[in-house]
Structure 1
């Protein structure tokens, strides 16, 4: 029986299983996925597995697999990390593994689950994220969820010989609640 932590209409969030590491490894072989995530180095299966095993013991983060309800297929992952309960803020990152899942609203659906959990259960006030300037689809999705651009790390990423800006965005609890109404 699969543990489902958070559910929406089409997806659910669950903990990582050992077989998910192969899916992540396969996604990292896709040049488009690497560009969207800013991943430039090769990660072996061992490095991926070690990273996710260490995340389990890190109290400043929650990591989830995004799975389709209809098929139980793992289509991505997300993390609510950098949790700072003293200042009631955190950070989120998300990745969908295959292009066939892009542009269908699955990412925002998963993010919405985590934002609701972060604001309502963890009592966070601010949730931030970073996104590269060329990821217009993601930026548009984030803005629909209430995120606003608050800064730019200029030319922070050198990818395939070109420098790209890294946008810092965030949403505050009341902004998110206003969007949901």
Structure 2
């Protein structure tokens, strides 16, 4: 398998030491409003989530780092043997301009070259235009819209689904 392209920064396994910083990013209002779980997560909830998932071989909990340090979180979940992984991600609210695109490249290089996924898929709430454009800019194809799929406590929202195959990602071969 190919090694990830380090010019985009790198992803590494998340550790317990990362929990406070990742929780701070996740609880920021600009991140939280685009998540399915929109309440402010407590440290206890966050620690319990990490304890449930850190040793699960189907889960890849990653911190994205660039030349300025850690500035993003990426999660892949690939249950079973099909090598099809759901991904989710967010950046630190104060991340440098362009960090999102670099995070995407580093994470997908990891997913296809290191983890060996055949497909990565993701979702975005339909009102999250930035995430939709982000997926499209990385080469994801829209695979469907789930109408009125998410209820935020006040209104229903559509969810847009995206997929990217191994051979569609630059630098990988079939």
- TM-score norm. by structure 1 comes to 0.80
Quote the offset at 1:134 in angstroms. Answer: 1.5
RMSD: 2.7
Unmatched 5+ residue regions in structure 2? none
Change (3 A) 1:165 1:179: farther
Match of 1:34 among 21, 32, 35: 32
- TM-score norm. by structure 2 comes to 0.83
**Pairwise mapping of residues 109-124 of structure 1 onto structure 2 (< 5 A)?**
109-124=102-117
- Give yes or no for contact 2:8–2:106 (8 Å, CA) kept in 1: no
Unmatched 5+ residue regions in structure 1? none
Quote the offset at 1:160 in angstroms. Answer: 5.8
Secondary structure in 2 aligned to 1:101? Answer: coil
The higher-RCO structure (CA 8 Å, 6+ apart) is 2
Name the residue aligned to 2:91. Answer: 96
Deviation string for 1:44-77 (max 9, x for gaps)?
101101211222210101111122323x2x3220
Distance in 2 between the 1:7 and 1:177 partners?
A: 11
User: 1:77 aligned to 2:73?
Assistant: yes
Distance in 2 between the 1:28 and 1:93 partners?
A: 12
Name the residue aligned to 1:53. Answer: 51
Change (3 A) 1:7 1:50: farther
Quote the offset at 1:111 in angstroms. Answer: 2.2
- Give yes or no for contact 2:11–2:107 (8 Å, CA) kept in 1: no
Quote the offset at 1:170 in angstroms. Answer: 0.4
Secondary structure in 2 aligned to 1:177? Answer: coil
Match of 2:147 among 129, 154, 166: 154
Quote the offset at 1:15 in angstroms. Answer: 2.6
Secondary structure in 1 aligned to 2:56? Answer: coil
- Give yes or no for contact 1:80–1:114 (8 Å, CA) kept in 2: no
List 4+ stretches of structure 1 deviating above 4 A: none
User: 1:137 aligned to 2:133?
Assistant: no
Distance in 1 between the 2:71 and 2:171 partners?
A: 29
Secondary structure in 1 aligned to 2:169? Answer: helix
Distance in 2 between the 1:152 and 1:178 partners?
A: 29
Deviation string for 1:5-37 (max 9, x for gaps)?
967335332232334322233334432211122
Change (3 A) 1:17 1:123: closer
